Structure 1
Amino acid sequence: MVSAERNAQQLRATRNEHNCVRPEGATHVLQRVREATESKLRSSLESSAPSSVTRFID
């Protein structure tokens, strides 16, 4: 029974650590979202726009 309580405490501590928002972590996530969005937009444009338009964007 003691080990079950210790495991529960450890799990709560780990969960709290993961839920902790660090400013640099949030910035990193936003950067990845921005890059993914730009990549999707670029590939969408490249597949639907004439080559002259995509050359202008680059």
Structure 2
Amino acid sequence: MDQPDIRAIQDALNHLPIQCRYHGVKTDPSSPRREACCDTGIPARRRQLAQEALDRQRR
């Protein structure tokens, strides 16, 4: 992945919330059937997972 692509992805991620309004940064799903801590935490959980994947690409 080249730098312009990485910057574009990072810019998009920056528009997602960092934490859940109710559970803060603890967005891990409470059960295997859930995507995040609650419905409100889904965008923050997606941001966290995408950021981790992007960080792995940068190495």
Q: Same fold (TM over 0.5)?
A: no
Q: TM-score range by the shorter chain?
A: 0.3 to 0.5
Greater radius of gyration (CA): 1
Larger RCO (alpha carbons 8 Å, 6+ apart): 2
TM-score by structure 2 length? 0.35
TM-score by structure 1 length? 0.35
Name the structure where helix makes up a greater proportion of residues.
1
